Structure 1
Amino acid sequence: MGIHVPSNVPMESTPFKGMEFEADEIAYGFYNEYGRKAGFSIRKEYVNKCKKTGVEGVRGKDKRDQNVKNPRAETRCGCEARLVIVLNRDSKKYVVSEFIAEHNHYLHLPSTVHMMPSQRKVAATHAIEIDLAHELGLRLKQSYELLSKQDHKNYLRSKRQRDMEHRAAASLGRYFSRQLKENPSYYFATQLDCEELITNIFWADARMIIDYSHFGDVITFDTTYSTNRDARPLGVFLGFNHHRETVVFGGALLYDETIESFVWLFETFLEAMSEKKPITIFTDQDAAMSAVIKVVTPETYHALCSWHMWQNAEKHLGHLLKTEPQFNADFLACIYEYDSEDEFLTAWNEMLDKYDVRENKWLIDLFKLKEKWAQAYVKRIFTAGMKTTQLSESFNADLKDCLRTDLNIVEFFTHFETIVNQKRDKELEAEYNSRQKFPRLKLKSSPMLNQVATVYMPKLFDLFQTEVEEVMALSILERNVSQTHSYVVGVFNQNGKYEVIWNPLDETLSCSCRKFESFGILCRHGLKVLDVLDIKLIPNRYIMKRWRRDAKDGTCDMCNV
């Protein structure tokens, strides 16, 4: 994990050997404040050594079953950083006898230090607010939101009253002006009709634009109705961050869902994002949207949401779902299970014949779009593991929970901000946990797992560790070693074979399952070949930056894999 030394702490706030304090509590407070600025939590111990080993700061051996499904993450890592004080009996003061500044773990970001155990102190004023909230019957989540937003939104009620006195367009203009004043990088655009009335609106704050530069390789876009009393469709651009948490790239209120509105929206979205086009976009089966994506951003792969497909299947094939229990499994297998085009085509034709649905118009039209939804084709494109627009569905559900149909447009934007901030709070929590807790290696001696444990975010590490575990079940069924090494990999006496090619000249690896090309981590088949070749570390080119701990460091041009 390397050595990490705090570098952003002023000298006057940094302890040193020989420093004196009037009391041990003062020393604790000084060191705790130093930890807050540096990004680490502290705890007070008179003696902190394992009685058996004499080693400090290491969790004892886990006595639970080794097969436990979700083992508790490590929070102790043997860090030697410390401040030791001793009482000088002559001066009656506490003197620093030892100070070690180097840490063997990641330091927390300024935005997450409030989550550290030693910083979780509730101020007296906040305690009063919590008691008051409890007396008023507010739920815990509501009282937390009350605290977190109290400082900068305590005038919200009067502000809403002022907004509601103006017409929606004027209020909207005032809202956007305030946003621009607070952050000049805020982006918004409105489309006017022939009578100079607002029809479509798009907005993205600075954080959304930055997040898109890092994670906008795969996005999802969906619309929903009844977001306010005008019942305008709300469209939200979403994606996955490096924690595989939802990240928001922008929002839109549309007048309608016509080609004209979508052309304006997608052109405006790309303008806001400096013309960086996503590799893949997931949408529902809206024909107007599909036509616009093909024209506005033809380089982008347009994938159809499998969840929406299933919803449509219930409408068009409901009789089969009721009378043929196996149809459900056969239809979903055609979407998800077949890696090769031949296997997919065979299974699809068998399904049509088995249920006598060759003349079904919906299935005929769906088959024409097979490159947008069948695994055999979708695996050719980078999707970051996304298969549906359910990120959008989830976001819309969260938004509807705090909306009423009598809200004016500015109140709607206020609620939208609240939901976006909740998503960002989840990212901060995930970031904090990734630095506070360490993944539990199931094969502690594995050089490869040790390599990526400090590189991948926890969720990605868990997924990769599963691939490593599955290597043991695989066999090399065929091999052809020439200028390039070709292997056929599979599970002995089971269906499913994958071709893995290793080129020793440029150290490139490819597998017919295309997990790396589509998801961004190496597959078990490729790892099996690396193991056979006695290659114990992953080549750097196969550790994708968008899944790394430092994914948001520096600039990111959304590499196309």
Structure 2
Amino acid sequence: MSNVNAEDLQNDPKVDMIFDTEEEAYQFYNNYGRRMGFSIRRQYVHRSKSNKSIITSARFVCSKQGIKKQVSETKNPQKETKINCLARMGIKLMDNGQYWCHDVVEDHNHPFQTPATAYMMRSQRKLSKAHAAVIDLADDSGLRPKAIFDYMGRQAGGVENLGHTKLDQKNYLRTKRQRDLAQGEGGSLLMYFEKQTRENPSFTYSLQLDSDEKIANVFWTDPRMIIDYALFGDVVTFDTTFDTNKEYIPFGLFAGFNHHRGVVIFGAALLYDETVDSFKWLFETFLEIHGHKKPITIFTDQDATKAKAIQEVLPETWH
């Protein structure tokens, strides 16, 4: 057995390789995936029962590992991404604190990405600090997001050399603008919610704060929404695509139909960004505020991020 060195980073994974940390092993396999043309993810990470900060074993797999659970019939089904690819690399913690590669499977059951499209794979996408600084400067100068992305692509010799996509930049800008919101705007929102709560105790809202204790995600309902959901909440539509404000903060709306086929609203939200974690918080909050009554069906657009969050929180309802 031997430690991984700089030369090994250009090699294929092999049993008996030694890594100093779990993160080093992950990055090695991720670099291998980029060269080959496949995305990776952690299938599992086991930790010590006595010390949760110590990782005792882990397995990294091709992102196409597993078989997607079929939750229901869909009108416009998404392209299948999990096709039971068995490619993997497993590591175990040794007594000396290093990690031993004990399991490697290299066979894939699907075509690889080409070098020109490898940068779009999820595990390969990363917005560097240098690129973030350029985006900040260009955004503060008033450049539009498309112009920023095109400019950076030209400077890098092609967008494939950036290491991130337009969606990554879009989410970064939303995060930046959310953090840059004036204190008065957040305060005004809280004052409005508090006023509504005083006037009608049935008005309900929920806030999620970030690590700096700034407002991130917001969800609210009024008494009419709560009553309408209790009566007509079996079928729900959820959308964030039809409107955004000048700060690029996604506005989400839960809606349905009453017995007169009129549109009724079940809740509204302002989101920090359109990530799985934000959507999971939103769907869990929606259920909690509505007394954990689950809809029979949820309709939404063909967005993979929303779909993943719904399938984790409400796997039996998504269409």
Which TM-score bucket, shorter chain as reference?
0.3 to 0.5
Larger-gyration structure (1/2): 1
Structure in which a larger fraction of residues adopt strand: 2
Structure in which a larger fraction of residues adopt helix: 1
TM-score after normalising by structure 2: 0.42
TM-score after normalising by structure 1: 0.24
